[in-house]
Amino acid sequence: MIISNVEKKVGDFEIKINDLYIEAGKIHGIIGANGSGKTTLCKLIMGILDAESGQVDYQGINPKDITMASQRPYFTHNSVYENICYPLKLRHRKIDEGRIDSLLEMCGLSDKKYQYARSLSSGEQQKVSMLRALVFEPEVIMIDETLSNLDPETTELFEQMILEQQKRKPVTWILISHRLAHIYKMCDQVHFMYRGSVIESGESREILFESEDKRIREFVANEVIKVEDGHGITES
């Protein structure tokens, strides 16, 4: 996917992506301060927001095959199970209930299968939103902070699921997370956003440890200090 000269204003904020290449079949990380435009960029890729100028070249990917697990998941007015099946039903795909059951079991949600999805706790909702994205097996999966809000065991579980799926059938992942250890562990490529623009892209190591850009070095240093201080960070 190639994003070129995309501009969009939301309120007082302006996003401007001159040239961003998201290589298919790789795990990409998007990092940057709160309010730097990470979520807005994902919405532009999803087509939830329309750019004012520029273009997103999907390179043959059907935009319907792009999904997003977001910080505030959207659920239809029915059960957890119905919500997980929803993207499959929309596309007339086969539903493997056994697989869904085993995924629910893996993340401790077996007894919530028939619960009204909107009544789940926020952590449970994030898990269901991850499962819904995984079951659907789209070509592009964007995960907006969902993983970094889960407890360590569940995060680890999803990390393993993503890496396994990547070996089996590589798809394109876009992970937004302020947990840099998670970004380093998972991502092939990292893109750093600053005030609405992607200012540097490269391999994880290049961005996290070798960047010469002062804004990136400061951001990384600050995140590391927060972790060492033991401050739980919840959202960005």
Ligand X SMILES: Nc1ncnc2c1ncn2[C@@H]1O[C@H](COP(=O)(O)OP(=O)(O)O)[C@@H](O)[C@H]1O
Residues that bind ligand X (CB under 6 A): 10-11, 13, 32, 34-40, 236
Strands in 13-21's sheet, in edge-to-edge order, are 13-21, 2-10, 53-57
Asked whether position 126 contacts Mg ion by CB under 5 A, the answer is no
Q: Which does 83 bind (CB under 5 to 8 A by kind): ligand X, Mg ion, none?
A: none
Nearer to ligand X, 41 or 107 (CB): 41
Q: Which of 193, 219, 179 is nearest to 44 (CA)?
A: 193
Cα–Cα dist 15/51, whole Å:
9
Alpha carbon of residue 41 to chain centroid: 11
Q: What is the CA radius of gyration of the chain?
A: 18
Nearer to ligand X, 48 or 95 (CB): 48
Nearer to Mg ion, 139 or 145 (CB): 145
Site stretch for Mg ion (CB under 5 A), options 36-44, 45-53, 90-98, 134-142: 36-44
Asked whether position 39 contacts Mg ion by CB under 5 A, the answer is yes
Q: Which does 37 bind (CB under 5 to 8 A by kind): ligand X, Mg ion, none?
A: ligand X
Looking at 49-203, list the stretches that DSSP marks H as alpha helix, in order from N- to C-terminal side.
Answer: 80-90, 97-106, 122-136, 152-168, 180-186
Q: Which does 34 bind (CB under 5 to 8 A by kind): ligand X, Mg ion, none?
A: ligand X
Q: Which residues contact 79 (CB under 8 A, 6 or more apart)?
A: 113, 114, 115, 116, 117
Asked whether position 40 contacts Mg ion by CB under 5 A, the answer is no
**Taking the complex as a whole, how short is the minimal distance between the CB of residue 91 and ligand X, in angstroms?**
28
Distances (CA, A) of 55 to 18, 31, 43: 10, 22, 14
Distances (CA, A) of 165 to 7, 25, 104, 134, 230: 33, 11, 17, 9, 32
- Give the number of other CB atoms < 10 A from CB of residue 165: 15
Q: Using CB atoms, what's the residue nearest to ligand X?
A: 11
- Pair of tokens at residue 204: 């994880």
Nearer to ligand X, 112 or 178 (CB): 178
**Taking the complex as a whole, how short is the minimal distance between the CB of residue 231 and ligand X, in angstroms?**
18
Nearer to ligand X, 83 or 236 (CB): 236
Cα–Cα dist 104/127, whole Å:
9
**Taking the complex as a whole, how short is the minimal distance between the CB of residue 38 and ligand X, in angstroms?**
3
Nearer to Mg ion, 113 or 226 (CB): 226
**Taking the complex as a whole, how short is the minimal distance between the CB of residue 6 and ligand X, in angstroms?**
13
Q: Which does 11 bind (CB under 5 to 8 A by kind): Mg ion, ligand X, none?
A: ligand X
The footprint of Mg ion (CB under 5 A) covers 38-39
